[in-house]
Amino acid sequence: MAMKIAVASGKGGTGKTTLAVSLAVSLGANGRGERTPSEGRPPLLLDCDVEAPDAHLFLEPTVEASAKAVLQVPRIVQDRCTLCGVCTEVCQFNALALLGDEVHLFPELCHACGSCKLACPDDAIEEVPREVGLLEAGSTDDLEFGRGLLNVGEAMPLPVIRQLKDWRHPEPGQLLVLDTPPGTSCPMVETVMGSDFVVLVTEPTPCGLHDLELAVEVVRELAIPMGVVINRDGIGDSGVEEFCATEDIPILLRIPFQREIAEGIARGRILVEIRPEYREILQDMTRRVAEMAGQAGRRSGT
Ligand code: SF4
Ligand code: SF4
């Protein structure tokens, strides 16, 4: 069975992407079977931060396939439409309006829920695809890669994330690493859903603690086991450590605040390139994550 690890954070700028990329790279470069849970296949990294994907900037993968992310939106068949107005009343998102002698669709507001089509008494609504984003897949020497990109001006990242996860899913035995959108709203939930473990990246500051508390609440609701990585360890205070101890959340790793690391990341390098010893550290961390995910799975009977 494939293990799925989501790397998330309560907000952007915590080092989430560099950790997700480093984790996947560390398991692809050396592991392949004996030393890692990836059982011989290179890991699959999916960048689900579809509003601002940036994992490819660290990896520069070769793009091998692409597909459109689409929503199925209504199209009114005018010669069957009796202008009864039922569809405009049913639409919870105000995406349909009766204007003059036709029903008008505001495509950016449509969530593609299909309610209007179901409700139309005259079978006057068809569904047509509307492109809202792009999916890309490729690889590097270390891993397989996929990303979603929401079109500029589009407001709904969820379908792009969902379609990316459907389009590129791990093969049996392949490790999946999900780079999660920052924050704790729907895109984060959509990404981490179905994961075996969530790695929460934070900073040891009051702000980091506040965002971590929110993220922990969401992951608990989803009943997914989790652990914390403290990035820029050494700045700030001990609030994050105390919170993790109180809440019984394991601290998986502390990455020290060091100029060499900060400068390297700012230049587009990943942690395991700047400090190669982190390959092994991250492999060890993944083994512990796999054990914790397995224990949680046994406790819940899955
Ligand atoms: S598909 Fe749903 S959101 Fe879109 S117009 Fe119809 S009812 Fe509204
Ligand atoms: S429910 Fe059907 S028939 Fe009624 S206004 Fe909408 S599209 Fe036209």
Per-residue pLDDT reduced to its tens digit, 254-274 = 998 888 888 888 888 888 888
φ, ψ at 66 (rounded to 5°): -145, 160
Going from N- to C-terminal start, the domains of the chain cover 4-69+133-300, 78-123
Domains 4-69+133-300 and 78-123 share a fold: no
Please check the confidence at residue 227 and state whether its pLDDT lies above 70.
Answer: yes
Nearest ligand 1 atom, CA 114: 1
- Phi/psi region, residue 114 (left: phi>0; alpha: psi -120 to 50; beta: rest), is left
At the topology level of CATH, where does 78-123 sit? Alpha-Beta Plaits (3.30.70)
Joined tokens for residue 211: 């965002």
Residue-wise pLDDT tens digits, 109-167 = 999 999 999 999 999 999 999 999 999 999 988 899 999 999 998 888 999 999 999 99
Q: Is 81 in the pocket of ligand 2 (CB under 6 A)?
A: yes
Q: Does domain 4-69+133-300 have CATH number 3.40.50.300?
A: yes
Most informative mutation of 116, 127, 132 for ligand 1 (most atoms within 8 A of CB): 116
| DSSP annotation string for 169-193 | -PPTT--EEEEPPSSSSHHHHHHHT
Can you tell me the distance from the alpha carbon of 297 to that of 142, in angstroms, rounded to the nearest whole number? Answer: 29
- How does DSSP classify residue 141? S
Ligand nearest to the CA of 95: 1
Q: Which residues contact 277 (CB under 8 A, 6 or more apart)?
A: none
Q: Please name which ligand lies nearest the alpha carbon of 86.
A: 2
